Amino acid sequence: MAGNNHRLVVVSNRVGPLSDEGRAGGLAVGLADALRRRGGLWFGWSGSISDEGTGSEIRTEEHGSTALKTIDMSESEIEGFYFGFANRSLWPLLHYRLDIAAFDRKSAQVYRAVNRRFAERLMPLLEADDLVWVHDYHFFYLGSELRREGYDGRLGFFLHIPFCPPDMMAALPTSHDLVRAMLDYDVVGFQTENDRRNFVDFCVQELDAHDIDGDRVRTADGRIVRASAFPIGIDAEGFAEFALSDEAKEHEAMVREISRGRQQIVGVDRMDYSKGIVERFRGFEQLLEDYPDLRGQTQFLQVAPVSRGEVEAYADLRVELEGLAGNINGRFATLDWNPIQIMVNGFTRRALAGIYRAAQICMVTPLRDGMNLVAKEFVAAQDPDDPGVLILSRFAGARAELNEALIVNPYSPDDLSRALHRAASMPLEERRERHAAMRAKVFANTAHNWCETFLAVLDAPAERDLQPRSWWSRLRFGTASMW
Ligand code: ADQ
């Protein structure tokens, strides 16, 4: 492929791992693979907090032609940048939860300052013809800060989470600045067409940009920015192999032993309000109410490792979920049957594959989700001869591809109950057909293909490269007032 010789520079909040495939998710596998092939650099936060913060020494881990380079953050940087603006403002807002989004000037400023610091620290590590690929809502401003530092090479950005509709986005006090900063990248990628459309609508309605041909935006100052959907995939073959490993088989056997022939439903999510776990529990309760025959015949295992425990909304969620599970068990349990079990620990990827494989039904019912890789992992882990049924929220990005799942409205306990009932009695032939169609897509659009598709677009000559460089540079770096 043209341009394979360009070095790849990935920037994301957390980096790696580059090896240890047992720990890595689909995203890390895809990126590590692309980094290995092109050679490159992965830059981000070390995961450590120190007094020097973003001024700390750069830590380097070399793996052949690839290096992981990380810096620390200070207590106040983490508080304002990560827990503050990223997770109390942007995460809820972009997941359409204006009701719990909190905006404060201080954390917005720290967020921006941290983006600037990362750009300043990265800048000396860059070479002129690198492909720089920045990831996710932690680093909206990083590209514009690199431009301010004088970086003139190719810059791409991928948003892993949804982009909310323009009217909602406008509630963010710094929305104009933030989206303008996104327009300093050459390529801006989204999970779905819906997210891309919301972004372009904001640019047109709020920033006087023009939607050129569905894939490009002309900014008010006449620059062309590519904005497209690049739905992310998983390492499908790798995950299917995990499901046949000894560790997976052990976990599969354990789950089957606990379920003792009953229909096993699973849910696997980070404990996050966007994942719709509360609503899912209510749907399961509704099932037990609506279909008394299924009492004692089905049970639900929810795996939900705690994340971002320092943010209040997350701590509250754990209490709510445990209370709700307790109520459901109190209401329906018998001496030999506990309807619902919730586990807050993480599993290795092989163990997880075994748990998916032991399940007859997987509920992936987020209220809003960029993609949702659990849906794809569940499909990849199934036995094609006797596959389980996927129940999928219409509000997950994965729905755009996996429309052979049972599609539900996660806000409706009735809808969830009906889908669970239908899944529990679905004939083998129908299960196979639905699974085969989804499996083909999960195996076709892998993490590897996602990376390569994005990088091919980032690598392609864009309009700005066809314009005389001096004109471009003058426009971009000529006068401070333009910033
Ligand atoms: P997340 O919100 O983290 O990702 P998701 O896509 O479901 O959501 O990925 C979660 C990952 O964590 C999966 O690979 C899953 O296997 C793993 N995981 C969950 N629970 C686990 C457990 N108990 N033990 C071990 N592993 C566990 C964000 C966006 C998504 C988008 C991804 C990738 O919010 O919409 O799909 O990025 O772009």
More reliable by pLDDT, 86 or 467: 86
The Cα 56–Cα 47 span in angstroms is: 12
pLDDT of residue 17: 84
> 345 pLDDT band (50/70/90 cuts)?
confident
Taking only the tens place, the pLDDT of each residue in 260-311 is 999 999 999 999 999 999 999 999 999 999 999 999 999 999 999 888 877 7
> Which of 136, 138, 234, 374 best tests ligand 1's pocket when mutated (most atoms within 8 Å of CB)?
374
All residues at 6 or more sequence positions from 76 whose CB lies less than 8 Å from its CB, including other chains: 53, 110
Q: Which entry of 72, 369, 415, 459 is annotated as an active-site residue?
A: 369
Question: What backbone torsions phi and psi does residue 398 show, to the nearest 5 degrees?
Answer: -60, -20
- What would you measure as the largest C-alpha separation in the chain, in angstroms? 79
Helix axes 193-207, 175-182, angle to 10 degrees: 120
Label residue 24 by pLDDT band (50, 70, 90).
low
- Rounded to whole angstroms, the Cα distance separating 151 from 194 reads 31
What pLDDT is attached to residue 22?
61
The reply to whether 257 and 207 lie within a common domain is: no
Q: Are 277 and 271 in contact (CB under 8 A)?
A: yes
Mean per-residue pLDDT for 404-430?
98
pLDDT at residue 462 is higher than 50: yes
Inside any domain, residue 2: no
27 within ligand 1 shell (Cβ under 6 A)? yes
Checking phi first, is residue 74 left (phi over 0); if not, alpha (psi -120 to 50) or beta? beta
Task: Mark whether 168 and 308 lie in a shared domain.
Answer: no
Whether 13 contacts 45, CB under 8 Å: yes
Best mutation site among 350, 372, 399 for ligand 1, i.e. most ligand atoms within 8 A of its Cβ?
372
Cα 375 to averaged position of ligand 1 atoms, centre (Å): 10
Question: Distance of CA 465 to CAs 36, 154, 459, Å?
Answer: 27, 10, 11
Q: Is 401 in the pocket of ligand 1 (CB under 6 A)?
A: no
224 and 326 share a domain?
A: no
Q: Indicate if 63 belongs to the active site.
A: no
Q: Is the pLDDT of residue 482 over 80?
A: no
**Which of 13, 158, 268 should be mutated for ligand 1, with most atoms under 8 A from CB?**
268
Whether 76 and 191 map to the same domain: the answer is yes
Residues in the chain: 483
371 CB near ligand 1 (under 6 Å) = yes
* 452 found inside a domain: yes
The verdict on 460 and 398 lying in the same domain is no
pLDDT digits (tens, 9 = 90+) for 45-93: 999 999 999 999 999 999 999 999 999 999 999 999 999 999 999 999 9
In a domain, 205, yes or no: yes
Rounded distance from Cα 372 to ligand 1 centre (Å): 6
Residue 146 Cβ < 6 Å to ligand 1: no
CA 390/CA 387 separation, integer angstroms? 9
Q: What is the pTM of this model?
A: 0.94
From residue 261, how far is each of 26, 408, 421 by CA, in Å?
A: 32, 26, 17
Q: Is the peptide bond before 17 cis (omega within 30 degrees of 0)?
A: yes
Do residue 165 and residue 242 come from a single domain? no
Residue 463 lies in a domain: yes
354-395: pLDDT as tens digits: 999 999 999 999 999 999 999 999 999 999 999 999 999 999
Q: Would you say the CB of residue 263 lies under 6 angstroms from ligand 1?
A: no
Pairing of strands 8-14, 40-49: parallel
pLDDT of residue 308: 80
In the prediction, which pLDDT does 461 show?
75
Give 270 Cα–ligand 1 centroid separation in angstroms: 7
Cross-strand bridge partners of residue 60: 69
Query: Is 451 a member of any domain?
Result: yes
Q: From the alpha carbon of 377, which atom of ligand 1 is closest?
A: 16
User: What span, in angstroms and rounded, lies between the C-alpha atoms of 169 and 96?
Assistant: 9
Q: Is 421 a catalytic residue?
A: no
The verdict on 416 and 464 lying in the same domain is no
List, edge to edge, every strand of the sheet that includes 389-393: 340-343, 298-303, 263-268, 361-364, 389-393, 406-408
What is the per-residue pLDDT across 117-171, written as a single tens digit (0 to 9) for each? 999 999 999 998 999 999 999 999 999 999 999 999 999 999 999 999 999 999 9
Is the pLDDT reported for residue 29 higher than 80? no
Atom of ligand 1 lying closest to residue 303 CA? 23
pLDDT at residue 210 tops 70: yes
Judged against a pLDDT cut of 70, whether residue 471 lies above it is answered with: no
Has residue 330 been placed in a domain?
Answer: yes
Taking residues 167-194, what's their average pLDDT?
98
Q: Which atom of ligand 1 is nearest to the CA of 191?
A: 38
Q: Which domain holds residue 203?
A: 8-233+446-477
Residues 163 and 290 in one domain: no
Q: Of all helices (H) and strands (E), which one includes residue 224? A: strand 224-229
473, pLDDT greater than 80: no
Alpha carbon nearest to ligand 1 atom 22, residue? 346
Ligand 1 atom 15, closest CA:
374
Both 205 and 247 in one domain: the answer is no
Same domain, 217 and 297: no
**13 and 77 co-located in one domain:** yes
Question: Tell me, what CATH number does 276's domain have?
Answer: 3.40.50.2000
* Residue 482 included in any domain: no
* Ligand 1 in reach of 305 Cβ (< 6 A): yes
Least confident of 96-105, 345-354, 379-388, 411-420: 345-354
The domain total for the chain is 2
What token pair was written down for 356?
């998916």
Q: What is the mean pLDDT of the chain?
A: 92
Q: How far is the CA of 315 from the centre of ligand 1 (A)?
A: 19
Same domain? For 161 and 199 the reply is yes
Nearest 5°: CA angle at 369, between 365 and 371?
Answer: 105
* Assigned domain for 264 exists: yes
